Amino acid sequence: MPETIDEQITIEKTKDPKEIPADDDLDFGRLFSDHMFMMEYESGKGWHDPQIIPYQPLEIDPGSSFCHYCQVTFEGMKAYRNEDDEIMLFRPDKNAERLNNSNRRMCMPELDPEFFIKAVKTLVDVDSDWVPSSEGTSLYIRPFIVATEKYLGLKSSDSYKFLIIASPVGSYYPEGLKPTEIKVETEYVRSVKGGTGAAKTGGNYGRSLLAQNQAAEEGFDGVLWLDGRERKYVEEVGAMNVFFRIDDTIVTPSLEGTILPGITRDSVIKILEDRGEEVEERKLEIEELAQAYRNGYLQEAFGTGTAAVIAPIGRIQWEDLNMEINDREVGPLTSEIYDILTGIQRGRIKDKYDWTDKVK
């Protein structure tokens, strides 16, 4: 169990605030808000000195272990304004829990989950002017931990930094939900059983770039990953979880250690089950998907993740087989789930699950 942190977060405000762009001028993850959160860890001393300071470069010793061995973990979450102009987070307790799961896998110190949420809320509150308000926009929050011990021997670091930075992001779909075109990746793999696929840790993402780049060169928006051992089972789409509607049943790959347990994935399953849909979390062979397509039973496909919420899939290319789904239009269930989830987030639909969490 992580130790409780009861230190006060000190706040040093910037003397040089940046200009905040208009909502329709935002893209993703290039511009950061005025402040950042930072806290240190040393073995024997634990987490200490939590502070909010002006956004600034870090001083990095080139011998720091994270530069070499990728002992890093991160999270991705959003703050957004609801229709009453309150700033909300979506299931931040789940991000805290997942960060600790990633930390355990990477031999990194866990964080008091309540303190994690407090740190996120304090930063968002200090930078509340940076939370945009138009439909689909948000302040994307990136908490992360890096190993800082200056030592080239391969071992878990004795010191770490926990940081939180925030970036205002524009709507993912300024012109409405748009289906993507995906290639089934049959050469490279994202993760293997016993590996780190279920942890949000840097190495998983660096290693996925070659496949993504090749798919982009071939004109695709991304890749559908298969399992690392047999290249037989569907796992994820890019850095999103994936759902299919096959003959009126919703199928999503089960979490067996190779797939990142998405919070959006979990929320979508709960919403679908509440609507009385049949949801199966199980192994899904790519061949089964192809069979369903050939027989006319593959009705819809979509990815889920914090950034896009729901990403409809209009076409999947598997070797020579070109699967066009729902005439490359957004499927009815896909668009309904998108409306329900964003409706709960924006406060248009009653949050009976208690998922939204007010910053102040």
Ligand X SMILES: *Cc1c(COP(=O)(O)O)cnc(C)c1O
Binding site for ligand X (CB under 6 A): 76, 200, 236, 239-241, 260, 262-265, 304-306
CA 84/CA 82 separation, integer angstroms: 5
> What values do phi and psi take at 306, rounded to 5?
-55, -45
CA 339/CA 268 separation, integer angstroms: 11
Write down the least CB distance from residue 76 to ligand X, Å: 5
Write down the least CB distance from residue 71 to ligand X, Å: 17
Write down the least CB distance from residue 305 to ligand X, Å: 4
Write down the least CB distance from residue 294 to ligand X, Å: 28
Contacts of 6 (CB under 8 A, 6+ apart): none
- Give the CB-side neighbour count of residue 269, counting CA atoms within 13 A: 17
Write down the least CB distance from residue 16 to ligand X, Å: 33
CA 261/CA 224 separation, integer angstroms: 16
Write down the least CB distance from residue 303 to ligand X, Å: 8
Give the nearer residue to ligand X in terms of CB position, either 94 or 245.
94
Give the nearer residue to ligand X in terms of CB position, either 50 or 253.
253
Write down the least CB distance from residue 265 to ligand X, Å: 6
Write down the least CB distance from residue 78 to ligand X, Å: 9
Give the nearer residue to ligand X in terms of CB position, either 183 or 200.
200
CA 12 to chain centre: 29
- Give the CB-side neighbour count of residue 134, counting CA atoms within 13 A: 14
Give the nearer residue to ligand X in terms of CB position, either 5 or 96.
96
Maximal C-alpha separation, the chain: 64
Q: Are strands 138-147 and 72-74 parallel, antiparallel or unpaired?
A: antiparallel
Write down the least CB distance from residue 165 to ligand X, Å: 16
Give the nearer residue to ligand X in terms of CB position, either 50 or 168.
168
Give the nearer residue to ligand X in terms of CB position, either 101 or 128.
101
Give the nearer residue to ligand X in terms of CB position, either 38 or 341.
341
Q: Are strands 278-282 and 46-54 parallel, antiparallel or unpaired?
A: unpaired
Beta bridge partner(s), residue 143: 164
Give the nearer residue to ligand X in terms of CB position, either 38 or 141.
141
Give the nearer residue to ligand X in terms of CB position, either 139 or 240.
240
Amino acid code (one letter) for 281? E
